[in-house]
A and B are shown apart, each in its own frame.
Chain A
Amino acid sequence: MKPWETLSSEVLHKNPWTSFHKDRFRMPNGFEGDYYYMKTPAGSVVIVPVLADGRLVLHREYRYLFDRVSLEFPCGGIKVEQTPDVAAHAELEEETGYKAQVMEYIHKIAPSNGMFKEYSDIYLATGLTDGDAKPDKTEEFEVVLMTPEEVDQAIEEKEIWDGFTIIAWQLTRQKVLDTINKL
C-alpha cells in the first residue's frame, strides 16, 4: 500500500476546539477525490485511575450532544503548551479531584482514524490521593468508584458507551487485574 498524494488542502471551519479540513488527494492508482476530516490542536489524554484497593475512579458526565449521562474515565484535550503527561495529571485532578503520584504511559491510539486527525495518549494513574475536583463552567462530574467487574458489566449494559473509556479499559484491564491479584 503506497501513500496517497495531497494535491491541495484548505480549512473549512475553525473554532477554539476543532478545525475542519478538506484535502484534494490522488491515490497511487491515479484516482483523485476530496477528503474531509477534523483536527484538534494537540490531541487528548485518557486516564485510568486505580486506587490502592483495586477500585477504579470514573465519573458520570452529562454529554450535551447526546442529551445523555455517560460513565467515563477522565479524559480531555491537551493544551498546545502542555505535554501529554502534564495534561494527564491536570485532567485527573480537574475531573475527579484525585492527584496521582505515578502517571504511567500505556499506549497511543487514534480516535476514529478515518475522519479525525488526532492521537490520544492513554495513562494508568496510581498512588492516588483525594482532593476537590475543579471542573470548568460547562463540566459537571459525579465521581464513581468501581471494581473491574463492575466496569465490564457497565460496558455490557451500555452504561459505558464512550469510545475513549472502552479503549482505555481494553488496554489496561489485564494490567489492573494482575495488580489486584498481587494485593
Chain B
Amino acid sequence: MKPWETRSTAVDYKNEFFKIMKKEFVTGEGAEGEWFYHENNNAITAIGQLDEDQFVLIREYRYVHDRQGIGVIAGAIDPGEDHRDTAAREFVEEAGYKAETVIHLGQVASVPAFSKEVWECYLLRDLTKVEAVKEVYEEIETVILSAKEIDQAILSGEMWDSNAIAAWHMVKLFLEKEAGEL
C-alpha cells in the first residue's frame, strides 16, 4: 500500500472549536480527488475504578441526538497539555474524583474517514472524592456501575456512544490481561 501524495491543503471553514479542511490528493495508484475533514484538539476518555467491580461513569444528555445515555468522562486535550494530565483533570472536573493512578490503555480514532481526532483511553484508580467543577453547559450525573451493568447498558442501548463503548472495551481487555497475570 503506497502512501498518497497531497497536492494542497486548505482551511475551508474555521471557528474557535474546529476547522474544516480540504486536501487535494493523488492515491498510490494515480487516482486524484478531494478529501474534506474535521480537525480539532484530540481528546481523552476516562473510566474510574473504585474497587474490583465498581466503575465510575456518567449519565449525560447529548444535544446533537436529543437523547440521554450512559457515557464516560471525556474532554479535549488543551494545547501543550499531556493527555495523562487531561484525564486526571477532567475526572476531577466532571466526576468529582481525584485519581492517584492514571493508566493509559490505548488510542482510538472514532471517525477516521472524516476526522483527524484521536481519543486517548484511560483507566483511573485510587480515587478520592472531591468537589466537581462542571461547566454551565455540562449536564452530567456521576453513576457507579458494575461490569455486568455496563455490558447490559450497552446491550440495552442505554450506552450508545462509540467513544464510551470503545473505552469500556479497552478497560475490559486490560482487566482480563491483568487477571491472567495475577
Chain A residues proximal to chain B, CB less than 8 Å? 1, 3-4, 12-13, 15, 17-18, 20, 23, 25, 27, 29, 31, 33, 35-38, 40, 60, 62-67, 69-70, 107-117, 120, 137-138, 140, 142, 152, 155-156, 158, 161-164, 166-167, 169-171
Q: Which of B17, B38, B112 makes the CB contact (< 8 A) with A162?
A: B112
Contact of A161 with B136 at beta-carbon distance under 8 Å, contacts A65-B116, A113-B162, A114-B74 already known: no
Distance, CA A60 to CA B1, complexed state (A):
9
Distance, CA A67 to CA B6, complexed state (A):
10
Q: By the criterion CB–CB under 8 Å, are B33 and A138 in contact?
A: yes
Distance, CA A30 to CA B97, complexed state (A):
28
Which chain B residues in 46-95 approach chain A with CB under 8 Å?
59-66, 68-69, 71, 74
Q: By the criterion CB–CB under 8 Å, are B165 and A109 in contact?
A: yes
Distance, CA A30 to CA B126, complexed state (A):
37
CB-nearest residue of chain A to B27 = A138
Distance, CA A112 to CA B117, complexed state (A):
10
Main secondary structure of the interface of B (DSSP, over half): mixed
Q: List 15 A-B contacts (CB under 8 A).
A: A12-B13, A27-B139, A31-B136, A37-B64, A63-B113, A65-B37, A66-B112, A108-B160, A113-B160, A117-B65, A155-B106, A161-B108, A163-B119, A166-B108, A170-B154
Distance, CA A18 to CA B68, complexed state (A):
24
Q: Which of B18, B25, B66, B108 makes the CB contact (< 8 A) with A64?
A: B25
**Chain B residues within an 8 Å CB radius of A115:** 38, 64, 115
Q: By the criterion CB–CB under 8 Å, are B166 and A113 in contact?
A: no
Q: By the criterion CB–CB under 8 Å, are B106 and A162 in contact?
A: no
Q: By the criterion CB–CB under 8 Å, are B157 and A108 in contact?
A: yes
Q: By the criterion CB–CB under 8 Å, are B162 and A164 in contact?
A: yes
Q: By the criterion CB–CB under 8 Å, are B13 and A109 in contact?
A: no
CB proximity of A57 to chain B, nearest CB, Å: 18
**Chain B residues within an 8 Å CB radius of A156:** 106, 173, 177
**Chain A residues within an 8 Å CB radius of B169:** 155, 166-167, 169-170
Query: Does B144 interact with chain A (Cβ within 8 Å)?
Result: no
Chain B interface size band reads 35 or more
Q: Which of B23, B111, B160 makes the CB contact (< 8 A) with A109?
A: B160
Contact of A65 with B35 at beta-carbon distance under 8 Å, contacts A113-B65, A166-B169 already known: yes
Query: Does B145 interact with chain A (Cβ within 8 Å)?
Result: no
**Chain B residues within an 8 Å CB radius of A113:** 62, 64-65, 69, 71, 160-163
CB proximity of A35 to chain B, nearest CB, Å: 6
CB proximity of A121 to chain B, nearest CB, Å: 12
**Chain B residues within an 8 Å CB radius of A31:** 136-137
CB proximity of A47 to chain B, nearest CB, Å: 16
Q: Which of A35, A62, A161, A163 makes the CB contact (< 8 A) with B111?
A: A163
**Chain A residues within an 8 Å CB radius of B65:** 110, 113, 117
